[in-house]
Amino acid sequence: METEHYKPVEDFNELVERSSYWVRALAKTMGIWPGRYVAMRMSWYRRLYYFMLSMHWLNTFLQIEFFFRNLGNLGLVVQGLCSFVSICTTGLKVMRIHAYEDEIRKIWQALENATYFKRIRFLRKTNTGAIFAGIHQLLAEQWKEVQMNLRFYSLVVGLVALNYSVIPACSNLYNQFQGNAFNRSFVYNTYYPFLEPIKRRSPLFELLFCSESLSGYTTFAGVVAFDGLLIEKINEIFSPILLVQLFTSTSIICVIAFAASMPADGGESQTMLMVLYLIAAIYQLFQFCWYGQRLQNESTALPLSVYDVEWELCAANFKSSQHILLLYSQRQIDMRAWSFSAMSLETFSTIIRSAASYFTVLQTLAEE
């Protein structure tokens, strides 16, 4: 019998590029997007990655120094712990993406070219036009959903990064031009060995502020790039980091909620920053679990769809093939945090309940 393969419409590549713009753009500025898609010379592109990563881990080390030197101050420890856990997790995500660059390139090519749909063969005597139109509509809806999700997520994470970096910079410039007496503020709570007495003098302050801002941008770009790339290879690439994400999300949500409930030195602005940070942390965990749940739902519905094809009216050869397909389709497909847990809404509710329990414990300890 003559068969025909699915052919994407002409504007499909444009739709994919438009929907994934933020993932690609931010990953390129970090040097972690597959090199074949980048116009920059490969040697400079690799240097960009190592430079951004080294600045990121340098500021992580400086935050560790600050953390251990202020263990007696609960407010500073809580505020520092929020950013410290976030940038550590992001550093691991960035390194993981870079290590699996070839695999991510193959996955991206398959998505960009609709490779998996092209492998399906349809009989020419069927109404292939209507079938292809239905497939394209389904793909278009999914990519538009990706686009909306990435825009919202980039906005939320960007607002948090803005509060940490851009607003302090504008405040420093405003007070300096007005001639006001003020204490120059950095992006993070950090301790600089040997430079602590002079770190607020120019031009050293400007250099250190820029280095911390680069680390903040690395966190922003790395978070959006990794979380937007969540697509048997996918589990291999992302499952170890998803396990780390579960533990860090529990601690971050707990600590941020506790920080938001404490009287802050920065007043309402600091409280608003913590609330915004909390929203971003919860949404970050939610999108992992939401798409994991949808994958589980589709996996559960697949064998039912295979069975409901009026196979009893077909020839014996078709019945044999359909039976094999039915057996294969009953295998559960899910996105896992290693072998620890499947990403689902049940996991999301478990993490939120655990974070709430730890939050209650922290409040009790603080009151004592």
Low-confidence ranges of the chain (pLDDT < 70): 1, 74-75, 79, 125, 180-183, 220, 222-234, 263-270, 368
Q: Where are the beta strands (DSSP E) in 16-168?
A: 121-123
CA angle 11, 24, 96 (to 5 degrees): 135
- Using an 8 Å Cβ cutoff, are 41 and 107 in contact? no
Instruction: Extract the tokens encoding 39.
Output: 């116009």
Instruction: Extract the tokens encoding 302.
Output: 């697949």
Q: Which residues contact 310 (CB under 8 A, 6 or more apart)?
A: none
Instruction: Extract the tokens encoding 188.
Output: 């993070």
Locus of tokens 């050869």: 317
> Rounded to whole angstroms, how far apart are CA atoms 226 and 49?
15
Instruction: Extract the tokens encoding 123.
Output: 């009989």
Look at residue 227 in the predicted model and tell me its pLDDT: 59
3-class state of residue 267 by DSSP: coil
> Rounded to whole angstroms, how far apart are CA atoms 57 and 72?
25
Q: Which residues contact 84 (CB under 8 A, 6 or more apart)?
A: 60, 63, 64, 67
> Rounded to whole angstroms, how far apart are CA atoms 108 and 114?
10
pTM for this structure? 0.78
Look at residue 166 in the predicted model and tell me its pLDDT: 74
Write the single-letter amino acid at 131: I
Instruction: Extract the tokens encoding 255.
Output: 């600590």
Closest CA to 341 of 250, 264, 206: 250
Look at residue 182 in the predicted model and tell me its pLDDT: 65
> Rounded to whole angstroms, how far apart are CA atoms 137 and 44?
40
Instruction: Extract the tokens encoding 68.
Output: 């251990």
